[in-house]
Amino acid sequence: MAAPKPRTTRSRSHRDVPDLEKMDAAYSWDALEWTKIEPVRRSVSRVNLDCLLEAEQVIAEGYGVVLVNTDEAGTLFVTNYRLLFLSEGTRDVIALGTIPLATIDKFNKIVVKTNAASRQSEKSSPSRRLLQVIGKDMRIIVFGFRPRTKQRRKVYDALLRCMKPARIWDLYAFKSGPSKYSNTDPKVRLLNEYFRLLGKGSLHASMSMIEDGSFTLSNELWRITKINSNYTLCQSYPFALVVPKHFSDEEMLQASTFRARCRLPVVSWCNPGTGAVLARSSQPLVGLMMNMRSNTDEKLVAALCSNLASVHGSSRRKLYIADARPRKNALANGAMGGGSESSSNYFQSEIVFFGIDNIHAMRESLTRLREYLDTHGEKSSDGMSSFLRHGGWTWGGGNLSSMSASVSTLGDSGWLIHVQSVLAGSAWIAARVALEKATVLVHCSDGWDRTTQLVSLASLLLDPYYRTFAGFQALIEKDWLAFGHPFSDRSGMPTISGSGNMPYELSRQSSTGSFSSSPMRQPSGAFISQASSPPHAQTSNNCSPIFLQWVDCVSQLLRMYPFAFEFSSAFLVDLLDCMLSCRFGNFLCNCEKERQQCAVSEVCGCLWAYLADLRASEGSSHVHYNLFYEPTKHEGPILPPAAALAPTLWPQFHLRWACPKESQAGELEVRCRKMAIKFSEMQKDKEMAERKAQEMTAAMESLKSELQNEKQLSISARNAAKSASKECEAIKRAIQSLGCKVQVSSNGYCTVDIEGDLMKKSNQKSHPASRRVSHRSLPSPSEENDLSLSITVTADDVPSNPLGHICEALCPLRTRDGGCRWPDAGCAHLGSQFIGLKANFDAFDQLSIYDGYFKPE
């Protein structure tokens, strides 16, 4: 979600009011001028908002509502998906006042009255109708309503009906449907991750493979079993499990009875090269005296330590059993049949306790942190700045007690200490697996909260694939979703088991003091609770921010190793917002079995498809991409030293509502992102320019080649022209030597006149013969070299043997013995009525007389 907009100034000015009066007025809610906000009457049925999502419907609305945090007036809508607040003037969505219903932790009705000097003035002063909404995403927002309008009652009742439906199918995720954000079945993606871990990443799973059970592959050490395909072995485990290759399914059934909720030890991550294993389970059922044992369970744990002789010298590897609980909690669980392992029962084993508190401590810690941020933020939910709180306790008053109290309050929340404990435990596990190639078995009580945190975070440190978008999705789907982290219970959403009844009840406790839980926020006005309108206590005993805390740990690693992750902090924030909002079906229900029963993957939208669509809209310049990602810099495990595990507040998530300016990315990152976008644009321009340059180079080469060809053709044509000129001159002289006159007209036609005594005599004896014969024009020099010229003379009355007379009278090539020096020319055809002379220019080169007869130029 986007950060809230900066505070806008209302119509009232406090310039002429003394500072103390300003503070008193602001804190007693006098700054809200209800008379200047005129509600606009509209019908819900006529509301047509462009900002509504698919299948989102307006349930109730309130006009003239004031968002006390920023002193903004607007319209408040309750839909079947969220609480939507629009600005009165611009009709823009105000991000701070807009919160999904599933993200709301609790909400209360509060009545505020200012301190009055007399009863008469108290009666004349109207009370303020307020609605306080506390979110799971670290915000506390307050809406103010006009008195005697019953708008707060409408909004409150709508929240009661819609925020926590009785049935899971009434959630917005089921109403909206998959839309365009559909994806493959999560079982297929789980098998693909198993194949990758077994070194068979080239294979791809399919639904047909799941239906016929042909996914049971194996390598030298591990195999995929389908013993839990119907969830008969363990209802909270996935349908497929990775177990030791030589451990049978019958033995697995026996071993499951020794672990809480039948969550027996299985492989969560393994290194196909070294054989190192990261396994998970629940606590063993050793009993109060810690003397219960299971030979099958001990055999299974020993099988997890099996080794390849080629990889390690011994046949067994070191075993570490990491218990996430404090030691005293593990011993206390023995009274209920649980407990922890004994190192004497597990060969070459070492038991380590991490001391991470339970879900109740985490829930209370986050509540204290949220109150601290609201109290000391730039703008609190009571509309007063932390700089002006309690007069002398101001930052600028010279008294540092408020600063020390603030730091003490942050420390008292314990949130950063819990985050550090999870980080330290995960780093310890990753170091044992990476450096010692040991087997580490992790568990807590049930094996689905602290165990999931440690195993998934250690896998993130060990495997660089999990630090990419695709790998991070596979990690969450495997260790959090498939292995049964109870998301519905931890977020307070309905489940299948509770869909028949109303699992949530209203608390009867008074709301007095609920608005000012911090000792530093004692009001100057009077908060009067309404006995008839108790707060809606949505938080059950099982709600806890376990997944939020894990994502916080990931953000701490991202801060320490900015080059190791493909995704950015903004991606983690959007991921958390989608999980808390329950807009998609990925994080509904408590386990894989329940999601299959609800057909979540078929009827609900997919979170991963939605996030991928966001990234595809802008490419690598999207805010989800980490600008500093360099995969070659961290190709192996990340092993942070203990001194580096000093967590801080996560600004992009913790401070985005209380301190919006400080929650934004640092100036350096903003500039780097702008430079990256500009560099990407320049890179595209460069590639386009290079393509154009290559095209121009190719065109120039083509033109150069054509010019070369034209040059060669020109030279050839010039040579042919010279040769033709020479031949024409030679033919002309040859014809003239025969007593003929050659005349060439301007249009290129050649006319040959033959004169002689013989022809004259022939003409006298016969009819006049055509003496002038038109022939083909001499070819131009640019045409082909194979040139020929035919000269024919026709006569009506030709002597029977004209050749002899012509040759004897005219031909200088006639030899004394009657032969011809030009036999290849075919100058005549005897015995016919045709007398002709045919000159073949190619035959000139074969004449021995050429050089002697024809004079050179």
For residues 33 and 847, what is the distance between their CA atoms, to the nearest angstrom?
124
**Regarding beta strands 277-280 and 772-775, do their DSSP bridges make them parallel or antiparallel, or are they unpaired?**
unpaired
The closest of 56, 59, 83 to 172, measured between CA atoms, is 56
pLDDT at 627: 87
Whole-angstrom distance, CA of residue 299 vs CA of residue 254 = 11
Give the pLDDT confidence of 174-183 residue by residue, as tens digits: 998 887 888 8
3-state helix, strand, coil in the chain (%, to 5): 40, 15, 45
Q: Which residues of 570-595 are buried (b: 16+ CB within 10 A; e: fewer)?
A: bbbbbbbebbbbbbbbbbbbbbbbbb
What is the model's pLDDT at position 669?
A: 72
Strand partners, 266: 280
What pLDDT, in 10s, does the model give residues 106-149?
999 988 765 544 444 444 445 678 999 999 999 999 999 988 88
The Cα 78–Cα 770 span in angstroms is 115
Q: Which residues of the chain have pLDDT under 50?
A: 1-46, 116-125, 310-312, 391-400, 500-539, 758-803, 805-807, 828-841, 844, 848-857
What pLDDT is stored for residue 699 in this prediction?
93
DSSP letter, residue 477: I
Q: What is the pLDDT of residue 234?
A: 96
User: Which backbone phi and psi does 743 adopt, to 5 degrees?
Assistant: -125, 130
pTM to 2 decimal places: 0.73
Residues ≥6 apart with Cβ < 8 Å to 668? none
Pairing state of beta strands 128-135 and 104-113? antiparallel
- Record the tokens describing residue 259, joined without a space: 């672990």
- Looking at residue 182, its amino acid is S
Residue type, 645: L
* Helix (H) or strand (E) run with residue 726 in it: helix 667-737
* Residues classed as catalytic: 444
Q: Give yes or no for a contact between 136 and 551, defined as CB atoms under 8 angstroms apart.
A: no
Nearest to 31 by CA among 110, 120, 122, 128: 128
pLDDT at 735: 77
**Local structure of residue 855 (DSSP, 8 states):** P
User: Residue 98 corresponds to which amino acid?
Assistant: T
Q: Which residue has the tokens 């998970």?
A: 280
d(CA 367, CA 344) in angstroms, rounded, equals 42
